[in-house]
Amino acid sequence: MADLSYLDAIILGVVEGLTEYLPISSTAHLTITEKLLGLEVNDPAVTAYTAVIQLGAIAATLLYFFRDIVRFAVAWFRGLTSTGARKDPDYGLAWAVVIGSIPVGIVGFLARDLISGALRSLWVVAVALLLWSIAMVVAERIYAGHEARGEIRGEHSVRPVDGVVIGLVQCLSLIPGVSRSGATISAGIARGIDRVTATRLSFFLAIPALTAAGLFQAVEEKDGLSALGVDPVVVGVVVAFVVAYATIAWLLRFVASNTLLPFVWYRIALAVVLAGVLAGGVITAT
């Protein structure tokens, strides 16, 4: 495996921070970047590194939404012991996040060898980028139908069943190229949840999913991470944190008045370029 330099760590941190929450697939961009940097994408240490620097993005989410997270947690705990407190809309949203986080944890654990093995192919990434772009277009059309009928729902109407549906769809994001945020936001708007609320819900669902993945990989591949060195790992996490925080703020402003279609066109263009360079032998798929 090639050594991970400070420059590599910074580049990967920037890519992680920019793409973790945009619906364009952080896994796809990290895999492509690692190939361009000459890193072995199937090396356990590199796989662990890309999971661990997600903790920087998670820290950005925790800081950005700290007050909301505290509010939801308080509502959830109150609702467990008080019938009256269960009428609080925050209680239902908290349950949506809790329930929605379970499926991806189970599927991710059971399919961990497949995810870190056979699916770590850039051909898989190219196909997934394209196919999920179609799903995003379909989600936008369904949302337009909800909008025309006046059926768009806000944060106070999010229910546990929304968490179940979005959580199941989130499992598809374990396929590199689909995008966790792309899957969850698309599922949310298809359920008739307004774009900003669907995006916020996507952030909340990311906290348990990405934290669990990062910590699990860190424990599983602690020897490989040690070989990379502590400093590059810290640099990657810090850079990912800073960039992710700015990305969260930007994305929430963007979806307030825009559809997901600009991301769809980007994904399609990336898929076509990636397939071209793979077919031309410029880079290898694994």
| pLDDT averages per 10-residue partition of the chain, 286 residues | 79 95 92 88 78 89 96 94 90 94 90 79 93 97 96 93 96 93 96 97 90 75 69 92 97 96 97 94 84
- What is the model's pLDDT at position 121? 86
Domain assignment present for residue 150? The answer is: yes
Amino acid making up residue 142: I
Phi, psi (deg, nearest 5) at residue 25? 80, 105
Domain assignment present for residue 208? The answer is: yes
- Tokens (6 digits) for 268: 């399609």
Domain assignment present for residue 1? The answer is: no
Q: How many CB atoms lie within 10 A of CB 108?
A: 18
Domain assignment present for residue 23? The answer is: yes
Domain assignment present for residue 30? The answer is: yes
Give the span between the Cα atoms of 264 and 29, in whole angstroms. Answer: 15
Give the span between the Cα atoms of 240 and 245, in whole angstroms. Answer: 8
Q: How many CB atoms lie within 10 A of CB 264?
A: 22
- What is the model's pLDDT at position 223? 67
Domain assignment present for residue 286? The answer is: no
The answer for residues whose C-beta is within 8 angstroms of residue 193's C-beta and 6 or more apart is 152, 153, 154, 157, 158, 162, 201
Residue 203 lies in domain: 6-279
Domain assignment present for residue 284? The answer is: no
Q: What is the DSSP track for 95-115? A: HHHHHHHHHHHHHHHHTHHHH
Number of domains in the chain: 1
- What is the model's pLDDT at position 1? 47
